Amino acid sequence: MGGAIGTVGTDLRPAAETEAWENGTDYIVTSADVMGLDPLIGRIGFTAGLLGILGMLVFVGAWRRHVEARFVRSSAAGVVTAGLIATAGASLLGYGWRGALANYLGPEAGLYDSEGLFVYYMLTDFGAYLPWFGALVAVLGMGWMAWVERSISRVMASVGLVVALFLLVLTVATGVPGLPGTLTPIWLAIAGIWLAVGRSRITEPEPPMRG
């Protein structure tokens, strides 16, 4: 959930742009708008994003220990690992830019003019959304494990496949690269809980080693 909060829940937008959206009109964001952004929202997004990355890396560690090491012939299990690591690594940049912008609007205000802050604002526009394509690929890998290798709950994986394929098609059709960051973090949180309390081959106790 940290990823969802850090990406969508604390999305930084100028008040004038938000008001224009609500009225169904277009608005051109300028560097002057950046000065009115709330640094607290940016700081919350930065912190939540870091917690999301921490949780993702812990999940990857457990996944490699309990799944990859056990299902060594599963290429899809490795794809899940690679996708999540890619998202975690790239997210450090996205959330880092958001945290930096919050600092330059708050405690370190005055170090950059509006033009300099506008650069950070543009980096945060999609910076926290772009990295989630890797996690989307991980969801597709889980789908393969469910339907081909039969090692994961098909119900859970099917929900993930619907979400992932919908976002993938929408991303290609619209050309908006950050769409995977809208729903993928929420699904990963649900999947983590499902794997923790549900039943599937990957969560079954390992057979005892023969002496």
Instruction: Compute the average pLDDT of residues 185-202.
Output: 85
pLDDT at site 196: 83
pLDDT bucket at 8, cuts 50 / 70 / 90: low
How far is Cα 199 from Cα 193, in angstroms, rounded to an integer? 11
**144-162 per-position pLDDT tens digit:** 999 999 999 899 999 999 9
Confidence check: pLDDT of 113 > 90: yes
pLDDT at site 94: 92
pLDDT bucket at 210, cuts 50 / 70 / 90: low
Asked which of 17-26, 67-76, 143-152, 198-207 is least confident by mean pLDDT, the reply is 198-207
pLDDT at site 20: 85
pTM (whole model) above 0.75: yes
User: End-to-end alpha-carbon separation of the chain, Å?
Assistant: 43
pLDDT bucket at 14, cuts 50 / 70 / 90: confident
Query: What's the mean per-residue pLDDT of the chain?
Result: 89
**28-84 per-position pLDDT tens digit:** 889 999 999 999 999 999 999 999 999 999 999 999 998 999 999 999 999 999 999
Max avg pLDDT among 18-27, 65-74, 137-146, 189-198:
137-146
In the numeric block, which tokens belong to residue 120?
Answer: 């950070």
